[in-house]
Structure 1
Amino acid sequence: MALKDVFLQLSENRALNKAAQKYGLRLGAQNVVAGTTVDEVMSTIHTLNAQGIACTVDNLGEFVFEKEQAIAAKQQILAVIERIHTEQADAHISLKPSQLGQDIDEEFCYENLYDIVARAHEYDIFVNFDMENYARLASSFRLVTRLGEHFDNVGTVIQAYFLEAMDNIEQYKHLRLRIVKGAYKESPEVAYTSKQDIDANYIKLIEYHLLHGKFTSIATHDHHVIEHVKRFVAEHQIPYDKFEFQMLYGFRKDLQLALVREGYQFCTYLPFGEDWYGYFMRRLAERPQNVTLVTKQIFTKETNVLLGVGAAAFALGYLTKRSS
């Protein structure tokens, strides 16, 4: 089994997700998750803003199957919106429909999302809809479409590994879009599975939206992609206010600051909350470089208990093999 598959399976384990919350962020995740409370995430936002970095804030949540959980998540997101507004922070919201009741009832989810987007619209705060696995894709796009009929502060994510990604980007090019490669394990019937194909489609989507779209958020840690984008925007004279680079909190901090110094718009994806485990595992699954960046913090004695001794041993063995 590949390392990516190990971490993806761990991200979907409800028992481990629950156990992780008992440890807080002591297992290395504090390096990539900006705390567990609204106060903590706001403090991080102000620190990054002072460095010229904008933020998009994700209130983490997994396995939401009860309406009470979804409503609690909505209230937490509304609290963040209020703080962003009152403290005049350079930040916006990223959210997952599944946390707001998508797996319970789509109409119930829509009502929760409407409340969030309406409040954010009142304060001129952008709301980005994160996309998850293929099973939720059609429902998520329906929700984006419905809310886009009422509000102009809504955008979404296009995942380059999906075969239909170009059709999606064409349909939603009037929105502000974040373009990513994709973080879930999908069938070859609906998604590219080779790194070469995903990378090629990723570049194709970025170029298309830079030329035809409203605003493009380019979410990558790959300096090769970043250099390609720099050359492309220079060649096509695309203004810097039409796009931004995005990276995850805790990764490639020097490169984030370097891009700001070069005059590019930059936004850090800032996750927070007690329900951090699934997010953390998916970040480790995305690319081997992500594992390397946080290996020293992750693989402690406590983490071996949480991840499972076998999985941690597999991952460490994989990293050892790669470095030899």
Structure 2
Amino acid sequence: MALRDFFIALSENRTLNSAAQKYGLKMGAQSVVAGTNIQETIASIKELNKQGISCTVDNLGEFVYEKSEATAAKEQILEVIKAIHENGVDAHISLKPSQLGLDIERDFCYQNLKEIVALADEYNIFVNFDMENYDRLHPSFELMEELNEEHKNVGTVIQAYFHESDENIEKYKNYRLRIVKGAYKEPANIAYQDKAEIDQKFIELIEYHLLNGKFTSIATHDHNVIDHVKQFVKVNNIPNDKFEFQMLYGFRKDMQLQLAKEGYNFCTYVPFGRDWYGYFMRRLAERPQNLTLVTKQVFTKKTNTVIGLAAAAFLAGRLTKRK
């Protein structure tokens, strides 16, 4: 868990996040980010579509505490929706309510989300509400529920490490859901801490929604989980149009292509923008083995320098707390 905590600490460091934005693609971020602008991202989506892979697009953003920043994020996402429609690509939207103002003002966030969801609904584009830390969990669910009263093109994420996930997956079984393990540091009173427990819960939630839910997105790079799901859907006669596998852009490319070739619905999570650092660190926190799944270009000399500085800052902070 120490390595996981380390990467979570890095993801929350604003100074390092700013440094990553400054260096941008010079740090090798092109291996995990589909582009820094909409045009580059649409080009990446088209290439994936050619290989039978759909996409979910995430406009990256961290530390949004000003209305102007949230409004800018909303406008960017609206432009992405228009670009998806105009280019006729197979893609939908993933967004974080915090980027649209959840930490600023609830009604302000709702209006931003409503504008996004309404336009996406007009173009028959699905919008997924990505889940963040526990403090934002229920406010995000509530916003989705409220929007669902008028627009049925919304869904969300269930994080396996939360103790209440069994209750939530039953409550939201009529929504399209992405099942993940969880990538934030949460206390033991609300989240499982043991990897084996989280892994087991992950499988249980996937199986429940496959049997009872609307549509299941299985977000994993673990071939053991994927093999288990393949067998489970076969034994239970679950048709392919009830689920998809999801992986992150730049991770396990060969497996992504293979699953698509085998006839499974496959969706790549496509992040874009300059604000990629926190996103990437949480992916490493979620599964440190991801280090070996990303192409070597990510770890350039500049990347290693930033991570090295982060490690020093993290350790220094730990030592200071102990004193």
- Same fold? TM cut 0.5: yes
Q: What residue number does 2:292 align with?
A: 292
Give the distance between the partners of 1:314 and 1:97, measured in 2 at CA.
Answer: 28
1:295 deviates by 7.2
Task: State how 1:81-100 maps to structure 2 within 5 Å.
Answer: 81-100=81-100
Structure 1 partner of 2:10: 10
Q: Give the match for residue 23 of structure 2.
A: 23
Contact 1:28 1:294 in 2 (8 A): no
Do 1:29 and 1:280's aligned partners in 2 also have CA atoms closer than 8 Å?
no
Matched, 1:170 2:170: yes
SS at match of 2:247: strand
Letter in 2 for 1:147: L
Which position in structure 2 is the counterpart of 1:234? 234
Q: Deviations over 1:234-292 (max 9, x none)?
A: 00100100000000000011111111111100000000001111101111222122112
In structure 2, the residue matched to 1:48 is 48
Distance (whole Å) between structure 2 residues aligned to residue 280 and residue 114 of structure 1: 28
Residue aligning to 1:146: 146
- Measure how far apart 1:302 and its partner are: 1.3
Aligned equivalent of 1:318:
none
Q: TM-score, normalised by structure 2?
A: 0.94
Mapped to 1, the partners of 2:75 and 2:264 lie a distance apart of: 34
Distance, in Å, in 1 between the alignment partners of 2:195 and 2:49 is 34
Which residue does 2:198 correspond to in 1?
Answer: 198
Query: Matches of 1:298 and 1:227 in 2, distance apart?
Result: 28
Deviation at 1:29, TM superposition (A): 2.1
Give aligned pairs, total: 315
Give SS of 2:218's match. Answer: strand
In structure 1, the residue matched to 2:120 is 120
Structure 2 counterpart of 1:277, one-letter code: Y
Superposed displacement of residue 18, structure 1: 1.1
Distance of 2:129 and 2:175 partners within structure 1: 11
Identity %: 69
Q: How does 1:257-272 map to 2 (within 5 A)?
A: 257-272=257-272
The one-letter amino acid paired with 1:12 is E
**1:222 counterpart letter in structure 2:** D
Per the alignment, in what secondary structure is the counterpart of residue 157 of structure 2? strand
Q: CA deviation at 1:103?
A: 0.3
**Residue type of the partner of 2:3?**
L
In the TM superposition, residue 5 of structure 1 has moved relative to its aligned partner by 1.3
Query: C-alpha displacement at 1:312, in angstroms?
Result: 7.9
Contact preservation (8 Å) 2:163, 2:190: yes
Q: Which residue of 2 aligns with 1:211?
A: 211
In structure 2, give the amino acid aligned to 1:193. Answer: Q
**Structure-1 separation of matches of 2:296 and 2:82:** 36
Question: What's the offset of the Cα at 1:117?
Answer: 0.1
What is the alpha-carbon distance in structure 1 between the residues aligned to residue 199 and residue 224 of structure 2? 11
Distance (whole Å) between structure 2 residues aligned to residue 313 and residue 234 of structure 1: 49
Kindly report structure 1 stretches of 4+ aligned residues shifted beyond 3 Å: 312-315
Q: Which runs of 5+ in 1 are unaligned?
A: 316-324
- Distance apart, 1:313 and its partner CA: 12
Counterpart in the other structure of 1:283: 283
SS at match of 1:302: helix
Counterpart amino acid of residue 261 in structure 1 = K
Amino acid at match of 1:84: I
The alignment partner of 1:102 has SS state of coil
Could you tell which deviates more after superposition, 88-97 or 299-308? 299-308
Q: 1:310: how far off?
A: 6.3
Residues in 1 aligned to 2:312 and 2:237: alpha-carbon distance in whole angstroms: 47
**CA gap 1:19/1:310 in 2 versus in 1, 3 angstroms:** closer
Post-superposition Cα deviations, 1:115-174, rounded to whole Å, max 9, x if no partner, equal 000000000000000000001111111111101111110000000000000100111100
Give the Cα–Cα distance (whole angstroms) in 2 for the partners of residues 311 and 296 of structure 1. Answer: 20
When structure 1 is superposed on structure 2, of 95-104 and 23-32 the one drifting more is: 23-32
1:252 aligns with 2:246: no
Runs of 5+ consecutive residues of structure 2 not aligned to the other structure: 316-323
- When residues 314 and 146 of structure 1 are mapped into structure 2, their CA distance, relative to the original with a 3 A threshold, is closer
3-state SS in 2 of match to 1:270: strand
Taking structure 1 as the reference length, what is the TM-score of the superposition?
0.94
Partner of 1:155: 155
